[in-house]
Chain A
Amino acid sequence: MSAAFAVTSLHKRFRTRFGRTESVALDGVDLAVPRGEAFGLIGPNGAGKTTFIKCLLGIAHPDSGTVELLGGKPEDPRSRARVGYLPERLTLPGAWTPRALLASVARLKRLQPGRAGLDGLLQRLGLAEVGDRRIRGFSKGMRQRLGLAAALVGAPELLVLDEPTDGVDPLGRVEIRQLLAAELARGATLFINSHLLSETERICTRIGILSHGRLVRSGPLEALTSVQQRWRVRFAPGPPSEALVALGFEPVEGGAWELAAGDATALNQALDRARGAGALLVGLERASRDLEDVLTEALAAGAA
């Protein structure tokens, strides 16, 4: 599967106006995202996530490294024509209406979607009823939805979304997740930059962790969050705790137990011994951590 984008050894430093001080925003990032994937870039504030996106789209110029966007260069308008982008803090012309904004985006993308096409987009984002109202009076959530609608103009192959659910109410977040799932099903590639780990976890199948301008972890979400050779076990109420501890089971929160087992044979032997001690097995799954744990661990490792 070809990459939606690939960056190699990306470096970017920012200097103050008179060049007295400089800060490293990106320090040799290598990343390739296959087409059709939903990739989430996470990291603390100032990690370089937005700078990465800007370098990816040609909005900022990297000091060194290469960027390939949909098989072309980010400077090439033909590449950018196939991308939809939602900036982190989108500023929209207040005097315009949503319909006028989407029509302008379509024109600049050299598309002619027609009124029906734009109405359809507004409908998808729940903005159909305010399509002719001035943007000036919109709430943050409505602006965010409109920004997303603008990013979706022309059914782009790659959607780059910087904090897509920022300022959106919980119900709206669900709708946006459904919309992004539909885009993914259409074949679009999603690249999401978010500090909301739960959102990222629900949408993305691959994750990258950026810290101090370096990509400290990258891979499938499942691989990053699963803990190798550890299993989470649930027993019926009132298990023989002392016996279980003696057998190597460790109690964890929620009344569950965790067990280290190198392979299936060792796992089954431990379970047989637990059942022999009177414990009744009701659930078994591979032990996993949430994204917050992964991020915390990655940042700690990166700082070390």
Chain B
Amino acid sequence: MTPIAVALDLLREAAARRWFLALGLALTGLLLVLVTSLRLEVVDGALAASRLFGKPLDHSIQAADVALRPVFLAASQVVFWGGLGFGVLACADFAPALLSPGRIEHLLSLPVRRWELLAGTFLGVLALAMAGAVYASAGLVLVLGAKTGVWTGWPVLSAVLSALAFGSVYAGMLAVTVWVRSAALSAAAGASLIVLGLLATHRTALLDLMGRGPGRAFFAGVTAVVPPLGKLADAAGALAASAPLAPGGLVRLLAGTVAFAGALLAVAVWRFERRDF
């Protein structure tokens, strides 16, 4: 499984980078701060008055899992958007480094197919995003579970959803890099996709504000294919908070996101197979 070998090499490279060491330390530090400073009192399986850092969240007595929903929702949003932002910055130069003159020639001379190199790079970055998101959310679940007795795996699943959303953004970054080897351009493509994803979230409302014409048609076309990241973030939040989701909504969102990432990867592979180095 060559793509797995390439992905593992990327993870080894990431492990040797200060960026990712800093991320790991920051996440661990944040979780330790929560462990030592979070004050939550639970009475008979319910939060008598849920207090976060000493301030009441809600005055009514309610079930602990319900009271914790805002916490999980907020944590999920932080993991989703923070993860996207950090991922775009931290992963922008993986593919440009892989394609750098003198390195790509060596890699292409090895018994590795070109598509395997790209697929391995994508999988490696996805695994990295997944590991970061799962580590943060699992840590949060452990801290809150130990404090409140509420044990739920949904925040971890929500983190996986966040990592998948980042995967669609990274597919765009990878496709851009195959055309132009530039970490800055790769990061710019990622940031643009996040903005477009936000616009796609409010597509209907924005289209209503636009007058008819080619600009509107262009906007409608672009936002029709870009994954609505805001909706994905909301879905991830709902999952984390164990809140109800619209039936079939998440499946459609995920299918669209995976299709978008797949299409961008296919374009990247098409270009990569034809490119001379």
**B42–chain A nearest beta-carbon distance, Å:** 46
Q: How many Å lie between the Cα of A1 and that of B104 in the bound state?
A: 33
Known: A95-B13, A95-B17, A96-B13. A87 touches B110 (CB 8 A): no
B17 contacts which chain A residues (CB < 8 A)?
95
Contact with A along B94-111 (1 / 0, CB 8 A): 000100111111111111
Interface: A16 (CB within 8 A)? no
A80-B111, A108-B112 given; A91·B102 CB < 8 A: yes
Cβ–Cβ contact B111 & A108, under 8 A: yes
A174: Cβ under 8 A from any B Cβ: no
Q: B207 an interface residue at 8 Å Cβ cutoff?
A: no
Within 8 A of B (CB), among A23-77: 54, 57-61, 77
Question: Does B9 count as interface, using CB distance less than 8 angstroms?
Answer: yes
State whether A100 and B12 are in contact (beta carbons under 8 Å apart), knowing that A59-B105, A87-B102, A89-B101 are contacts in the complex: yes
Report the separation of the CA atoms of residues A145 and B17 in the bound assembly, to the nearest whole angstrom. Answer: 24
Contacts of A78 in B (CB 8 A): 111
- Given that A60-B277, A96-B12, A108-B5 are known contacts, is A90 also in contact with B102, CB under 8 Å in the complex? yes
Judged by a CB distance under 8 angstroms, whether A81 is at the interface is yes
Q: Is A150 an interface residue (CB 8 A)?
A: yes
Q: Which of B101, B111, B112, B113 contacts A91 (CB 8 A)?
A: B101
Q: Can you name the residue of chain B whose Cβ is closest to the Cβ of A87?
A: B105
Max chain B C-beta neighbours (<10 A), residue from A59, A78, A110: A59
Residue of B nearest to A79 (CB): B111
By a CB distance below 8 angstroms, the chain B residues around A89 are 101-102
A92 B276 Cβ-Cβ under 8 A: no
Looking at the assembled complex, report how far the CB atom of B17 sits from the nearest CB atom of chain A, in whole angstroms: 6
Within 8 Å CB of B5, what residues of A?
104, 107-108
In the complex the two chains form, what is the Cα distance from A90 to B105 in whole Å? 8
Hey, which chain B residues are within 8 Å of A61, CB to CB? 274, 276
Q: Are A105 and B109 in contact (CB under 8 A)?
A: no
Q: Does B209 contact A (CB under 8 A)?
A: no
Q: Is the CB of B103 within 8 A of A92?
A: yes
With both chains docked as a complex, state the minimum distance between the C-beta of B138 and any C-beta of chain A, in angstroms: 27
Tell me the count of chain A residues lying within 8 A, CB to CB, of chain B.
33
Contact B2 A108 (CB under 8 A): yes
The reply to whether B110 and A109 contact each other, CB–CB distance below 8 Å, is yes
In-complex Cβ contact of B110 among A92, A96, A105, A160 (8 A) = A105
User: How close is B15's CB to chain A, nearest CB, in angstroms?
Assistant: 9
Contact B105 A54 (CB under 8 A): yes
User: B98 → chain A, closest Cβ, in Å?
Assistant: 9
Q: Is B33 an interface residue (CB 8 A)?
A: no
Q: Is the CB of B101 within 8 A of A54?
A: no
Do the beta carbons of A57 and B108 come within 8 Å of each other? yes
Q: Is B16 an interface residue (CB 8 A)?
A: yes
Find out whether the CB atom of A91 lies under 8 angstroms from the CB atom of B16: no
Q: Report the separation of the CA atoms of residues A95 and B94 in the bound assembly, to the nearest whole angstrom.
A: 13
Q: Which residue of B lies closest to A14 (CB)?
A: B276
Chain B residues with Cβ below 8 Å from A160 are 109
Q: List A contacts of B274 (CB < 8 A).
A: 61
User: Which residues of A (129-149) have their CB < 8 Å from a CB of B?
Assistant: 134, 147
- Smallest Cβ distance from A80 to chain B, in angstroms? 5
Is A93 an interface residue, CB under 8 A from the partner? yes
How close is A197's CB to chain B, nearest CB, in angstroms? 24
Mask, B1-44, CB within 8 Å of A = 1, is 01001100100110011000000000000000000000000000
Sample of 14 more A-B contacts, CB < 8 Å, known A85-B109, A91-B100, A93-B13: A54-B276, A57-B108, A58-B108, A59-B108, A60-B276, A61-B274, A81-B110, A87-B105, A90-B103, A90-B106, A95-B13, A95-B17, A96-B12, A108-B107
- 7 residue pairs bridging A and B, Cβ less than 8 Å apart: A54-B105, A80-B111, A90-B103, A90-B106, A96-B12, A104-B9, A105-B110
Which 6 residue pairs of A and B lie closest in terms of their CB atoms, listed nearest first? A95-B16, A91-B102, A77-B111, A85-B109, A81-B111, A60-B276
